[in-house]
Amino acid sequence: MEALHYKTHENQTVQCALCPHECKLKPGVKGICKTRYNENGQMKLIGSGIIASSGLDPIEKKPLYHFYPGSKIYSIGGYGCNLRCSFCQNHEISQYVPESGSRLRENLPKNIVDKALFLPQNIGIAYTYNEPTVFFELMLATARLAKGKDLKNVMVSNGFINHKPLSELLDVIDAFNIDLKAFTDEFYKTQAGGKLAPVLNNLKSIKKNGNHLEIAFLVIPGLNDSTNEAVAMFRWINENLGGDTPLHINRYYPAYKLNTPPTPSEKLVELRNVAKEYLKFVYLGNLHNSDIGTKTTCPTCNTTVMERHGYSTTLKMIDSRGYCKICGYGPIAVMG
């Protein structure tokens, strides 16, 4: 299948325009993500439509805490990624792409949407697990079809995508969870093989367009956990995206190439306390068997409006429109 978003140059060279790497490829050569290659001067997809993982997940697992809280969403992911994070928790699927023509079955958008419609109590489709940008063509076609059937679309992403393809997604993706991996270009360059600026620009575009947005920040000891750097990030979110943007501060566990011990819970609590000076909704994630930093309180009257235990959510003092039942503040969440 031919890729969307690329340019052709002399001597059958093609240049991908999907993500900021903008890989320039001679015939027979693959891009950094290994999901697209130059076939005789045309950019073709590899492993297009192959789903590596799928499941009906709680929306809180994405994580999204302010978008249809307590609901479930059909979640799909494929293979490959346009970044190379040394700490990737999903490296088995993100750093491997099966060749086209492998025995793995390719899925069509219609099959995915039919499955989503069939699943009980499902609100839509989440594009997640690996980086959905690298299966852009499947995601866009599926999301367009799903939108027409009144299903919600969610993208869980590293935010490393070019503006034009993102603008096409903004028309059909209802909610985004974007990883903000750190607040220095150095971290993006050395630990992820990317750049910070495009991610920040994309966060602003998503917010400006009015799509629901939550941010995830994985705290890795010694690499991105400096309080000063975190304060700069929290302040930037407040000033550019608004103080009501939910932030998920997550605990890191050793994975892939990184064997630094897990983030101490005291560090996470400290960063959450600092973040709360800038942001209204700050959560802690990946702290197994702990409910610290999981409930939603009303920023005005401090009432607990939603409570969570693991991925189970209890709606308490929040009304059907997403407003606080006590003081009327809101909307706090997009409700079903």
Q: What residues line the site for ligand SF4 (CB under 6 A)? A: 16, 18-19, 21-23, 31-33, 36, 82, 134
Select 6 or 252, whichever has its Cβ closest to ligand SF4.
6
Select 149 or 163, whichever has its Cβ closest to ligand SF4.
163
Residues 154/146, Cβ–Cβ less than 8 Å: no
Query: Cβ 209 to ligand SF4, closest distance in Å?
Result: 22
Query: Cβ 210 to ligand SF4, closest distance in Å?
Result: 26
Q: 148 vs 19, 141, 178, CA distance in Å?
A: 27, 11, 25
Query: Cβ 191 to ligand SF4, closest distance in Å?
Result: 17
Burial of 85 (0-12, 13-18, 19+ CB in 10 A): buried
Select 32 or 126, whichever has its Cβ closest to ligand SF4.
32
Q: Is 155 helix (H, G, I), strand (E, B) or coil?
A: strand
Select 22 or 57, whichever has its Cβ closest to ligand SF4.
22
Query: Cβ 184 to ligand SF4, closest distance in Å?
Result: 21
As a residue count, the chain comes to 336
Query: Cβ 256 to ligand SF4, closest distance in Å?
Result: 18
Cβ neighbours, 10 Å, residue 208? 11
Question: Greatest CA separation found in the chain?
Answer: 67
Query: Cβ 172 to ligand SF4, closest distance in Å?
Result: 19
Query: How far is 36 from 101, CA to CA, in rounded Å?
Result: 14
Select 36 or 72, whichever has its Cβ closest to ligand SF4.
36
- What lies within 8 Å, CB to CB, of 103 at 6+ separation is none
Query: How far is 236 from 107, CA to CA, in rounded Å?
Result: 40
Select 37 or 283, whichever has its Cβ closest to ligand SF4.
37
Residue nearest to ligand SF4 (CB): 31
Residues 142/112, Cβ–Cβ less than 8 Å: yes
